[in-house]
Amino acid sequence: MKVNGLLISFLITAVISGCSITAPQYSAAVTNAQSLRDSDIAEVRVGSFVPSGSAANNNTISLRGSSMTSPYGGSFSNYLAEAIKQELALAGKLKESADIEVSGVLLKNDIDVSGLSVGIGEIEARFIVKKNGISQYEAVKSVKTRFESSFVGAVAVPKGQQEYPNLVRTLVGELFQDPLFVKALKR
């Protein structure tokens, strides 16, 4: 019986954790939206976000043998662009034809669930604000998050998968709290 149980367990583990998985879609933070809405910024459009270097892990992030991909065109730099879009949209500040544009470069991007009890997320990006093509703001923002993980792969992989939007939300929150960034978005 125990051998059968183990076989079933290994089968489940193989089925669930050995395949390609997709990062959860981004979900904007209400606190960010309210802060943007109240800060009297202009309407903004989101330009291109591109990866730079292998540390950007733009196509896949490895989680114990599973490959996590982005739900936004298979690109994690697109994921970051989508995050900024969602935050601005939730605040009512996103406009395709706006003359102020936010763009960026994804520099680092990783979720590490190799630890037995703690996982680590790390992301870094350069953000650029231009108004009518003239640079108003440029800065690199970087954050690191720690989250509860597990020895068991079938727990650690979904935990790492779920951490990704939180990691990006933390980075975006860091950007929105920069008074120079907020100033650059004002008319």
Query: Alpha-carbon distance 36 to 73, whole Å?
Result: 27
Question: Is position 158 an interface residue for another protein (rule: CB under 8 A)?
Answer: yes
Least distance from C-beta 138 to another protein, angstroms?
A: 29
Cα separation, 4 vs 137, in Å, equals 61
Between 53 and 148, name the residue whose CB sits nearer to another protein: 148
Query: Any contact of residue 9 with another protein (CB under 8 A)?
Result: yes
- Contact residue for another protein among 25, 114, 135, 142 (CB under 8 A): 25
Residue carrying structure tokens 């395949």: 19
Q: What angle do helix axes 153-176 and 76-90 make, rounded to 10 degrees?
A: 50
Q: Which residues contact 101 (CB under 8 A, 6 or more apart)?
A: 44, 45, 46, 47, 129, 130, 131
- Binding another protein (rule: CB under 8 A), the pick from 6, 116, 118, 180 is 6
**Residues 69, 57 contacting (CB under 8 angstroms):** no
Q: Using CB under 8 A as the criterion, what x/- string covers residues 131-150 for binding another protein? A: -------------------x
52 makes contact with another protein (CB under 8 A): no
Residues that bind another protein (CB under 8 A): 2, 5-6, 8-13, 15-16, 19-22, 24-25, 27-31, 33-34, 86, 90, 150-152, 154-155, 158-159, 161-162, 165
